[in-house]
Every structure is written in structure tokens, then in C-alpha cells.
Amino acid sequence: MLSAQARAGDASALRTLEKAAKSGDKTAENWLGIYYGVQKKYRKAVFWSRKAAIQGDPLAEFVMGEVYYYGNGVPKSDRTALYWYKLAVAQGYQGAQPMLTKVRQEIAAQAELRDHTQVVARTDEQPPAGTSSSTSVTPISDNKVVSTPAIKSTTPMAVTRPSSALLTAKEQNLLGYAYYSGQGKPKNYEKAVYWYRKAAAQGDASAENNLGVAYNYGNGVDKNFSRAVYWYRKAADQGNPSAQTNLGVAYYQGDGVKSSTTEALHWWTKAAKQGDARARSYLNVVKLTSRGTK
């Protein structure tokens, strides 16, 4: 849900953007894509940002990296995201450098996790019988880290598996992400949520944010914007910039909270100060839709 101010400026701003985008202006194409992304109209967002990226717009290339990293409007792919981030950095868009470094580290961590599990693990710890993965503390994805250590069994015929007691919160979050993304593990949202919860119970901010994303999209749990906001806020209060950006989106859209552009700007500003490129883009979109284009 847009604020009254933003709604009032949408018609003229969109007309101006669309006219420029349809004429082939790559900057307008990308900003139109970003605008649609904020509105969660992901197919339109990808369509316009891709057109700009193909023309070599470095910000659009970064946006396409974000699209594939978060899986908005396209199948999630860290490697395709890496491709676009590389192009953006190569053309001088330094805002993409933190994400380029991050994705490279995550791909390496996924490979390490895969190596460990291929050698020693054929099954993973399951939630206790009768426990629903949607049970949680009642009350906009992304950090995945480190690897799972190999655990040897003392029983010769036993199947070895990682034990939650021997995994750090970061490793539990990484295992959750492996299941969530299907990278290194068969995609299984319920198992992903199970491991996210274990990490979040130890206060891991990345896992808290990831739980919020799961609730936001209804992956592995019943879709619930209020619970998504609950987890985003816990992570945001710890300073997690992705969670701060996601919380800002929730306020901007009115998902799980009363719509407030003021609150959205507050959280996006905090995230932007930490270098979060999504937050910076969203701040620009609000300026664009509130004041029109000049």
C-alpha cells in the first residue's frame, strides 16, 4: 500500500518514466523496473531492468544481480547473480562490490558444505515427531554462512549425520539456507525453517531475517506478514541491514503493519548507511514517486 503522497505522484511520474523507457532510455527502463519491484510486480520489474542491463547500464546490472540473488520474478540463482554483479563492478558501479564479495563467499561456503555432506552424511537431523515446522514464537533473505562439520559415528553400521548440538548458529543458518535455496541440498522449505529456527533461537540475526522472508512468502510455513515483521524487527534491532530494508518494505507496503512511509524511510536510511544497495534504491524510488521526475 502506497502512502497518500506517493499515490498522488504516481500517475505523472509513471507516465514520464514509461514514455522515456519506451523510447529506449536505459536509465528510465531501470528506474521503471525498480519502481515495479517496490510494488512487488516482479515480472514487470525484471522486464524493464533486464532491458536496461542488456544495454549496459551498470545500476541495472546490479539490480539484475539482486533479482537473481533474491529470486524475485525469476528462479533464484547465486551464480547468475554473481554474473550480473561482476558486470556492474566491471563498469564502475562500486555499490555492487559488497554483494559480489558476499556471493563469492557464499558459493564457496556452499561448496564446502557440499563436500562435507557428500563424504559423511546421507541423512540430516529431522524435527521431532509430531512437531510442526510452522510453530513459532508469536509476535524484505539472505545471509548464509560457514560450513557443516563432519560428525563420525561410534557405531560402524550407523548412518552419520550432523548434530544440531555441534553446529554453531551460523552453521545452522547455512544448512537452513542450503535447503531453502536447493543449493547443496534438495530444496525443502520445511527443513530450511527448522534449521533457521534453531539458529534464530540463539539470536542469529541472519536466521531471524531468513525466517521473516519465509513467512513473507509462505515458504515452509503459513504465509503471515505479521510474523514476517516480527522476525525482521528482531534482526533489524540487531543491526542487520537486509532485515532493516525488509522491514522498511513492510512499512511501505503495509504488509503486517500499518502503512507508514515515515517508518519505511527510517529503516531504509539505517540500512543505506550500512551500504545496503536495495535500501538506497528504495529511497530513490520514494523520492521519484513523491515528487515526479524532472
Segment 45-90, tens digit of pLDDT: 999 999 999 999 999 999 999 999 888 889 988 899 999 999 999 8
- State residue 126's pLDDT score: 45
The whole-number pLDDT of residue 218 equals 94
Q: Quote the CA–CA distance of 257 and 226 in Å, as a whole number.
A: 7
Q: Taking the domain 4-151+162-291, which CATH number applies?
A: 1.25.40.10
Does residue 153 register a pLDDT over 80? no
pLDDT of residue 276: 85
pLDDT for residue 164: 54
Nearest to 85 by CA among 108, 101, 107: 101
Q: Residue 266: is its pLDDT beyond 50?
A: yes
The C-alpha R_g of the chain, in whole angstroms, comes to 20
Separation in Å, CA 231 to CA 107, 152, 203, 238, 244:
25, 35, 11, 11, 11
Band of residue 224 on the pLDDT scale cut at 50, 70, 90: very high
Per-domain residue ranges of the chain:
4-151+162-291
- pLDDT of residue 151 exceeding 60: no
* Tens-place pLDDT, residues 189-220: 999 999 999 999 999 999 999 999 999 989 99
- DSSP annotation string for 1-17: ---HHHHHHHHHHHHHH
Position 285 scores a pLDDT of 75
Between 141 and 252, residue with greater pLDDT: 252
Instruction: Report the range of poorest mean pLDDT among 94-98, 164-168, 277-281, 290-294.
Output: 290-294
Q: Among 111, 114, 82, 106, which residue's Cα sits nearest to residue 96? A: 82
Q: Is the pLDDT of residue 131 over 90?
A: no
Percent residues over pLDDT 90 in the chain: 39
C-alpha–C-alpha distance, residues 95 and 88, integer Å: 9
- Over residues 110-124, the pLDDT tens digits come to 776 555 544 434 334
Tell the residue number behind the cell numbers 563424504, with chain if given: 119
pTM, full prediction: 0.56
